[in-house]
């Protein structure tokens, strides 16, 4: 049994595939599958690419279009998260997110926020599976919080189908377990510390399922000493005073990612309660570096 680590860049972040396999060719095949799947989902769902399916969907406003089953499943999931979070989780908030996430490093003007808000709101979208119709032109989708996590689960699934039994898929800190080490022992995985991204805030044992982290430690906007989160409340258009990061462990990376994103959106006040209510192991780190949650540091 030999260990393989394949590092690559995907979905705009550093990724790694850790495998333990007897057979070199099995490991290489798994690597090729993972690269291809990440690339496929990135091309299909990236909100940064003008040639993605999402961009195409946005460009066809007015006309009802039929989407494929995978996209329909993601839209159903997003719709359900929108409902469960009273509108906090909203994949139509792409324009708002972009505004606050702009690399220019300035706080957007009130009229810019108001314009983006007019193009935000899942309730404005007509979604009758498999038909999607955007009544407004200019809506921008953002599947952040679900697509990378979904991709991690898919990659783990493909590795298992390829015959790999032990390994971890790491897409920018969102992890999906292929399976425990060959002797059954769990993998030790690190949760990045918000302030020092090369250091682990905690180490936990994982044998299966997934771990996802939502945070704005890498993308927060700091202007005149004030920190603006890129986590934006789609109902007000304003950044949410939230944790520096929220990490959640669940049976799948997708569920972990959804829970972490919802907790981030709920903010310091309600996010922790929500995670406790879910009953999923979690770690929340505040902007002052203080940790809470039931994952030991």
Partner 1 sequence: MNAAKRPSSSLTLLLAASAALGGQKSVQADETGSAQSVGYRFNVYDEDAFSGQPVIGSPERYHVDSQQFALDTGVGGRNTLDVNATHEVMSGSSPWYLVPGPGNKPVQVLSGATIRDHRSAVQAAVTHDAGANDTTSVNASYSAERDYHATAIGAEHSMPLNVAVTLACGGSFSHDLIRPTDAELYDRISRAQKNTLSGFGGLTWVLNKASVVESGIQINYQTGYLSDPYKLATVGDVQLPDTRPEKRTEGAWLVRYRYALNADAALHADTRVAANSWGQHSLALEVSWYQRVGGDWQLVPGLRYYAQDSARFYAPFFAADSGGPYFSSDYRLGAFGALAANLNVRKRIGHWEVTAGAERYHSSTSYALGSSGVPDPAIVSYTRVYAGLDFHFD
Site for partner 1, rule CB under 8 A: 25-26, 29-30, 33, 69, 73-74, 76-77, 80-81, 84, 150, 153-154, 156-158, 160-163, 165, 176-177, 208-210, 249-255, 258-259, 274, 277-281
Q: How far is the CB of 107 from partner 1 (least distance, A)?
A: 34
CB of 197 to partner 1, least distance (A): 26
Distance CA(131)–CA(125), nearest Å, equals 11
Please, are residues 227 and 239 in contact by the beta-carbon 8 Å criterion? no
Residue found under tokens 């329909």: 72
Indicate the residue among 96 and 253 with the shorter CB distance to partner 1.
253
> Residue 71 to residues 46, 95, 147, 155, 210: CA-CA distances in angstroms?
13, 20, 10, 17, 22
> Shortest distance, CB of residue 199 to partner 1, whole angstroms?
25
Cβ proximity of 48 and 101 under 8 Å: no
- Contact between 179 and 160 under an 8 Å Cβ cutoff? The reply is yes
For 44-186, where are the E strands, in sequence order? 65-66, 126-128, 131-133, 166-171, 174-179
CB of 84 to partner 1, least distance (A): 6
Encode burial over 189-218: b for 16+ CB neighbours within 10 A, e otherwise.
bebbbbeeeeeebbebebeebbbbbbbbbe
Is residue 285 within 8 Å of 194, Cβ to Cβ?
yes
Q: Smaller CB distance to partner 1: residue 149 or 233?
A: 149
Q: Is 36 left (phi over 0), alpha (psi -120 to 50) or beta?
A: alpha
Which residue, 31 or 47, is less far from partner 1 as judged by CB?
31
Question: C-beta of 135: minimal distance to partner 1 in Å?
Answer: 25
**Which one, of 78, 97, 87, lies nearest residue 123 by Cα?**
87
Identify the residue whose tokens are 């682990």.
200
- Cβ proximity to partner 1: between 69 and 222 the closer is 69
Q: In 23-143, where does DSSP find H-type helix?
A: 24-45, 53-59, 69-84, 94-100, 110-118
Q: Is 111 helix (H, G, I), strand (E, B) or coil?
A: helix
CA distances to 12, 110, 120, 162, 200 from 256, in Å: 20, 34, 25, 24, 19
Decide whether 194 or 210 has the Cβ nearer to partner 1: 210
- Closest approach of partner 1 to the CB of residue 158, in Å: 8
Q: By C-beta, is 106 or 128 nearer to partner 1?
A: 128
Which of residues 193 and 254 has its CB atom nearest to partner 1 in the complex?
A: 254
Tell the smallest beta-carbon distance from residue 186 to partner 1 (Å): 11
Return the number of the residue (116 or 253) whose C-beta is nearest partner 1.
253
Residue 209 CB, nearest distance to partner 1 (Å)?
Answer: 6
């Amino acid at each position: 049994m030999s260990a393989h680590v394949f590092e690559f860049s995907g979905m705009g972040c550093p990724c790694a595939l850790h495998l333990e396999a007897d057979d070199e060719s099995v490991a290489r095949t798994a690597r090729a599958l993972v690269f291809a799947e990440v690339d496929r989902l990135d091309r299909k769902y990236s909100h940064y690419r003008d040639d993605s399916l999402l961009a195409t969907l946005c460009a066809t406003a007015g006309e009802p279009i039929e989407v494929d089953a995978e996209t329909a499943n993601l839209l159903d999931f997003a719709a359900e998260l929108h409902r469960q979070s009273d509108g906090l989780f909203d994949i139509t908030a792409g324009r708002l997110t972009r505004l606050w996430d702009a690399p220019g490093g300035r706080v957007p003007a009130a009229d810019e926020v108001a314009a983006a808000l007019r193009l935000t709101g899942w309730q404005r979208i007509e979604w009758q599976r498999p038909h999607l119709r955007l009544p407004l032109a200019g809506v921008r989708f953002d599947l952040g919080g679900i697509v990378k996590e979904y991709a991690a689960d898919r990659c783990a699934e493909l590795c298992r189908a390829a015959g790999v039994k032990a390994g971890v898929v790491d897409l920018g800190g969102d992890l999906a377990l292929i399976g425990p080490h060959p002797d059954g022992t769990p993998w030790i995985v690190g949760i990045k510390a918000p302030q020092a991204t090369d250091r682990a805030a905690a180490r936990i044992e994982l044998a299966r399922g997934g771990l996802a982290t939502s945070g704005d430690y890498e993308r927060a906007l700091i202007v005149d000493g004030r920190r603006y989160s890129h986590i934006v409340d789609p109902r007000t258009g304003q950044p949410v005073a939230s944790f520096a990061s929220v990490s959640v462990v669940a049976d799948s990376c997708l569920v972990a990612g959804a829970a972490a994103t919802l907790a981030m959106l709920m903010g310091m006040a309600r996010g922790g309660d929500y995670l406790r209510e879910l009953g999923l192991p979690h770690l929340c780190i505040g902007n002052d570096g203080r940790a809470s949650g039931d994952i030991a540091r």
